[in-house]
Amino acid sequence: MKTLMLGNEAVARGLYEAGCSFVSSYPGTPSTEITECVALYKEVYAEWAPNEKVAMEAAFGASLAGKRSFCAMKHVGLNVAADPLFTVGYTGVNAGFVIGVADDPGMHSSQNEQDSRHYARAAKIPMLEPSDSAEALAFTKLAYQLSEQFDTPVFIKMCTRVAHSQSVVEPGDRVEVSKPYEKNPQKYIMMPGNAKRRHPIVEERTEKLTVWAETAGINRIEDGTDHSIGIITSSTSYQYVKEVCGDRYPVLKLGMIWPLPKQKIVDFAASVDKLIVVEELDSFIEDHCRQLGIDCVGKALFSCIDEFSQNLVAEKLGVATQSGTKLDAAIPMRPPVMCAGCPHRGLFYTLAKNKVTALGDIGCYTLGAVAPLAALDTTICMGASISGMHGFTKAGGGEGRKVVAVIGDSTFMHSGVTGLINMAYNESCGTVIIVDNSITGMTGHQQNPTTGFNLKGDPCTKIDLETLCRAVGINRVRVVDPYDLAACDAAIKEETAVDEPSVIISRRPCALLKYVKHKKPIIANSDKCIGCKACMKIGCPAISVIDKKAHIDNTLCTGCGVCAQLCKLDALTAAKED
């Protein structure tokens, strides 16, 4: 029966139908829902790993054991997993092994706009690229077939607009796949002697895959009535091209993005007067065409910056578009903000107040960089706050300055703990603040090793952050409640003053968690308010000053009380609880 599915949900369905029985991932927008959705199938073991490298190695192990396996990550997560990636490309697989990676053109929720297709070529691992949910399902199943036929891991490459768009799919049935494990050191022990024998096999495999790509149905030509232009495209760019051009120009729609066919592209180019390549981000297909000696237009027309849309494609192809009416009024921006009641707010207020240099990390708390808190100095990648702070203080950056690293509980488990070990081992100073909101917040509330629950929602071993930090050699470990501004202030002042590494765990569950009970909204006593705006320094969306009086939005306020601590005049007070 036909149904609507998100692209990510369709990948999960494809995993189920292909008989995949092991999934290990780390959440990351826009890849997260694949793993959340596949966890709903009882036939599939699915887990959150602490990071993408662990996830990929675990999925490799499951393939080795004879079960079809999968791991998912966002584009930058693939950087973390790049170490195993390049070598599992050599070993190949036992049962099928598929890697899901999701790019984010336009950076809706990412720190860079990297193009993951380069990894396919660099690691010599084939990559399939669906353009809607129906293809996401079909290509996922095909990926397992190719993985076993050609003895290679296979990428499924998503992008935000395919991952987070729903379209119509027709689900099918599951097949079960199981293979015996046989010890094979020449294939699986990649020491130089063996790896030297595997590399030529990898190159032969690429040749065979290229031959396959020449006739594969997923690299299809859709003929057009006007051969003055021919277009090579894939993924969501294909949808924009078809939206604009319909059946006018011939289109070579590529479903396999690496290795790319050669003769098929040469023949297609010869059938049209002018060849245009429409691809988001880098010139990947275009470079391939040029290597084949084909003259084409790509990045000269379609930028490597930002995502595309139908109007952009229309404009570049000289097709007229219409625009609507723009109002004359200046419309203020509405950037994302920390939620009302967010436990990070009190901490960031205290950091800003103490003029602390704060190296930040990846998560909701990156919003601590936004005015009026403006409490962060850097955001690079997962874990970089701690290792960055170590280098900063070792290089003398801590002289006359209070320096901290701010990192979430999930990010700390992902790759913060290795940086902390470095701090202990190399006798650093500086304070690591773990903002522990008891969940992976930014990606939409995923469990992690510190929460005590697994992906399926069952209770499990809970990693104790205090014990872990002490075990790696940090002597000063303390816990504060970020709703208590005085306690936060004391902890930051004391810990940044000592000449040894320290950890402050700022602990309070995310205010959006279902089990977190909110207090009654704070009461604004307008007779006492003088409109000094001290309460506005925390950037809470529930507070506004109207006619020089503080006003609380009762639908948003969670009664956290941070604003009340800033008001010297008792104009903001806690309501009596029942």
Partner 1 sequence: MKTKNIMIVGVGGQGSLLASKLLGRMLLQKGFDIKVSEVHGMSQRGGSVVTYVRFGDKVYSPVIDKGEADFIVSFELLEAARWTEYLKPGGKIVVNTQQISPMPVITGAAEYPQGLAGQMQAAGLDVDAVDALALAQQAGSSKAVNIVLMGHLSRYFDFAEEEWLQAIEQCVPAKFLEMNKTAFRLGRNI
Q: How far is the CB of 87 from partner 1 (least distance, A)?
A: 31
What is the distance between the alpha carbons of residues 210 and 205, in angstroms, rounded to a whole number?
Answer: 9
Interface map 368-397 toward partner 1 (x if CB under 8 A)? --xxx-------------------------
What is the distance between the alpha carbons of residues 250 and 241, in angstroms, rounded to a whole number?
Answer: 11
Q: How far is the CB of 132 from partner 1 (least distance, A)?
A: 8
Residue 446 has what DSSP assignment? B
Task: Establish if 58 lies at the interface with partner 1 (CB under 8 A).
Answer: no
Q: Pull the structure tokens for residue 486.
A: 């005085």
For partner 1, the closer CB: 207 or 553: 553
Q: Work out which of 17, 47, 52, 132 binds partner 1, going by CB under 8 A.
A: 132
Q: How far is the CB of 514 from partner 1 (least distance, A)?
A: 13
Residue 518 has what DSSP assignment? P
Q: How far is the CB of 86 from partner 1 (least distance, A)?
A: 28
Q: Pick out residues in 167-206 that bind partner 1 (CB under 8 A).
A: 167-168
Q: Cα–Cα distances in Å, from 322 out to 237, 308, 326, 329?
A: 20, 17, 12, 21
Q: How far is the CB of 70 from partner 1 (least distance, A)?
A: 20
Q: How far is the CB of 107 from partner 1 (least distance, A)?
A: 9
Question: Which phi and psi (to 5°) does residue 478 adopt?
Answer: -140, 155
For partner 1, the closer CB: 109 or 194: 109
For partner 1, the closer CB: 330 or 395: 330
For partner 1, the closer CB: 215 or 321: 321
Note the residue count of the chain: 578
What is the distance between the alpha carbons of residues 232 and 384, in angstroms, rounded to a whole number?
Answer: 39
Strand locations in 75-137 (E): 97-103, 127-128
Question: Which phi and psi (to 5°) does residue 103 adopt?
Answer: -85, 165
What is the distance between the alpha carbons of residues 249 and 223, in angstroms, rounded to a whole number?
Answer: 7
Interface map 425-454 toward partner 1 (x if CB under 8 A)? -----------------xxx----------
Q: Pull the structure tokens for residue 341.
A: 């009641």
Task: Establish if 337 lies at the interface with partner 1 (CB under 8 A).
Answer: yes
Q: Pull the structure tokens for residue 60.
A: 């490799």
What is the distance between the alpha carbons of residues 447 and 458, in angstroms, rounded to a whole number?
Answer: 10
Write out 410-442 in H/E/C secondary structure.
HHHHHHHHHHHHHHHHCCCCEEEEEEECCCECC
Q: Work out which of 364, 433, 474, 557 binds partner 1, going by CB under 8 A.
A: 364
Q: How far is the CB of 317 from partner 1 (least distance, A)?
A: 14
Q: How far is the CB of 29 from partner 1 (least distance, A)?
A: 3
Interface map 288-327 toward partner 1 (x if CB under 8 A)? ---------------------xxx---------xxxxxxx
For partner 1, the closer CB: 7 or 96: 7
Q: Which residues contact 11 (CB under 8 A, 6 or more apart)?
A: 34, 72, 100, 136, 137, 140, 156, 158
For partner 1, the closer CB: 197 or 548: 548
Q: Provide the CA 498 distance to its chain's centre, in angstroms.
A: 36
Applying CB under 8 A, which residues contact partner 1?
2-4, 6, 29-30, 32-33, 108-109, 132, 161-162, 164-168, 236, 239-240, 242-243, 309-311, 321-339, 364, 366-367, 370-372, 442-444, 533, 536, 539, 541, 543-545, 555
